[in-house]
Amino acid sequence: MIVPLSINHIDEVYAIEIQSFSDPWSKQSFVELLSSPFAVCFTAVDAENEVEEVIGYIIMYHIFSEGQILNIAVKETHREKKVATEMFNAVLEYARNVSIETLTLEVRESNSPAIRLYTKLGFKLSGIRKGYYKQPKENAILMTLIL
C-alpha cells in the first residue's frame, strides 16, 4: 500500500535510508520535507501484519511543470518485489494529475538494478554528472522521463 509520508513514518524511513546509502540523509531532513511546499513524499507500507511496516519511500520535488526524484529506497528484505515500481506508479499518477511534464533523477553509475528499473519505466539517459557522489566517489547518471 502506498501512502503519503507522515511524521509517524520518519523513524522507519530513516532506518531504511541508513541501510541503503553510504551517505545517508539526516533524520531531520526527512522531518523538514513534511513542511516543504515542493516535496511530494510517499511511503510503501506492508499492512499484512497488525502493525504497519514501512518498506520503502520515494521523495520528489515538484516545481512548476517539473518533478525531480530526490530519493528512493526499499527495505532490503522487500527488494525485487515490485515495491519501487508501485512507488513510482504513485508518483507518476500524481505527476499526471498536476500536469508535470518531465521527471528527472540521478543514479550511481554502478547501480545497475536501479538503472534497469528506471529504463523499464521509460526514463532515458540525459547526462552524466562527474564525481557527483562522494562516498565512494562516483559519477551520477542523469535520467529523464518526458510525460
Contact between 68 and 74 under an 8 Å Cβ cutoff? The reply is no
Tens digit of each residue's pLDDT (9 = 90 or more) over 61-118: 999 999 999 999 999 999 989 999 999 999 999 999 999 999 999 999 999 999 999 9
Residue 71's domain comprises 2-146
Catalytic annotation present for 118: yes
Q: Is 34 helix (H, G, I), strand (E, B) or coil?
A: coil
Q: Report the sign of the C-alpha dihedral through residues 22, 107, 122, 72, in that order.
A: positive
Catalytic annotation present for 109: no
Q: Which among 46, 67, 71 is positioned nearest to 57, based on CA atoms?
A: 71
Tens digit of each residue's pLDDT (9 = 90 or more) over 13-26: 999 999 999 889 99
| CA–CA–CA angle 39, 18, 13 (5° rounding) | 45
Which one of the listed residues 118, 132, 133, 138 is annotated catalytic?
Answer: 118
pTM exceeding 0.85 = yes
CATH number at residue 49: 3.40.630.30
Number of independent structural domains in the chain = 1
Cα separation values, 69 from 39, 48, 53, 88, 136, Å: 10, 28, 23, 10, 21
Which one of the listed residues 12, 14, 57, 106 is annotated catalytic?
Answer: 106
- Distance (Å, rounded) from C-alpha 142 to C-alpha 38? 21
